C-alpha cells in the first residue's frame, strides 16, 4: 500500500472515530433524516459523484475538509463559515486557504437539499456524508443529527489543527 493511501486511510479512520466519539454528547444516530428528508444521503452522494467526475482529486479534499472541520470546535461545519470584516474565519486560515477543497460540492448539495427539505439537513451532516461518499468503496454508516456551529475563528485553527508533519501514530494520539 502506498504511503499516500495509508495516510488517507489513517485520516479517514481518525475522522470516523471523531464522529463516533461525538455520539455520546449529541445523541447522533444512523438514519437521522429517514423521516424528515429521506433522500438526504442520496442527494449528497450524487453531488459527490458529480464533483468526482469533474475532478478526481476532490475526493481527498472532502475527507480533508471534514478532518479540518472536526478538529476545530467538533464536527459543526464551522469551516464553511465565511469571514466578515470583523472576524477572520477558519476557512481563511493559512492551514485551510487556499488548500481546502470541495466547498462547491457542499454548496451544491445544500442547495438541492434546501429545495426539497428546507431547513432540515445540517451542513455539518452534509460534510460528514460527503467525506464518507468520497471514499468510493469504503461505505460506512454515518451518525447524523449534528447541528451547525455559528462561530468560526481563525485562531482556533492554529491551536487545534494537528501539524502537517505528524505521522499516523502522532495523528492518532493528537
Active site residues: 68
The reply, when asked if residue 90 is annotated as ligand binding, is yes
The reply, when asked if residue 167 is annotated as ligand binding, is no
The reply, when asked if residue 61 is annotated as ligand binding, is no
The reply, when asked if residue 78 is annotated as ligand binding, is yes
Q: Is 136 exposed, middle or buried (0-12, 13-18, 19+ CB in 10 A)?
A: exposed
The reply, when asked if residue 162 is annotated as ligand binding, is yes
Q: CA angle at residue 155 from 106 to 77, to 5 degrees?
A: 20
Q: Across-strand partners of 130?
A: none
The reply, when asked if residue 133 is annotated as ligand binding, is no
Of 20, 41, 16, 38, nearest in space to 29 by CA: 20
Place of cell 442520496: 42
The reply, when asked if residue 125 is annotated as ligand binding, is no
Q: Residues near 47 by Cβ (< 8 Å), separated by ≥ 6? A: 105, 108, 109, 112, 130
Crossing angle of the two packed helices 123-133 and 3-26, in degrees rounded to 10: 150
Of 121, 134, 117, 112, nearest in space to 51 by CA: 134
Q: Give the annotated binding-site residues.
A: 69, 72, 74, 76, 78, 90, 162
Q: Give the annotated binding-site residues for Ca(2+).
A: 69, 72, 74, 76, 78, 90
Q: Give the annotated binding-site residues for substrate.
A: 162
Amino acid at each position: 500500500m502506498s504511503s499516500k493511501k495509508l495516510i488517507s486511510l489513517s485520516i479517514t479512520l481518525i475522522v470516523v472515530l471523531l464522529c463516533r466519539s461525538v455520539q455520546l454528547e449529541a445523541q447522533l444516530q444512523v438514519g437521522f433524516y429517514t423521516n424528515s428528508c429521506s433522500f438526504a444521503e442520496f442527494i449528497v452522494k450524487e453531488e459527490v459523484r458529480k464533483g468526482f467526475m469533474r475532478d478526481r482529486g476532490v475526493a481527498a479534499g472532502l475527507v480533508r475538509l471534514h478532518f479540518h472541520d472536526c478538529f476545530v470546535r467538533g464536527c459543526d461545519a464551522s469551516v464553511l463559515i465565511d469571514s466578515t470584516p470583523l472576524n477572520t474565519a477558519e476557512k481563511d486560515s493559512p492551514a485551510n486557504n487556499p488548500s481546502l477543497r470541495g466547498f462547491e460540492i457542499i454548496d451544491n448539495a445544500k442547495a438541492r437539499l434546501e429545495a426539497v427539505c428546507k431547513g432540515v439537513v445540517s451542513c455539518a451532516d452534509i460534510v460528514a456524508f460527503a467525506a464518507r461518499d468520497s471514499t468510493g468503496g469504503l461505505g460506512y454508516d454515518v451518525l447524523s443529527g449534528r447541528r451547525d456551529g455559528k462561530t468560526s475563528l481563525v485562531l482556533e485553527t492554529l491551536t487545534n489543527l494537528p501539524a502537517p508533519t505528524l505521522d499516523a501514530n502522532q495523528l492518532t494520539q493528537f
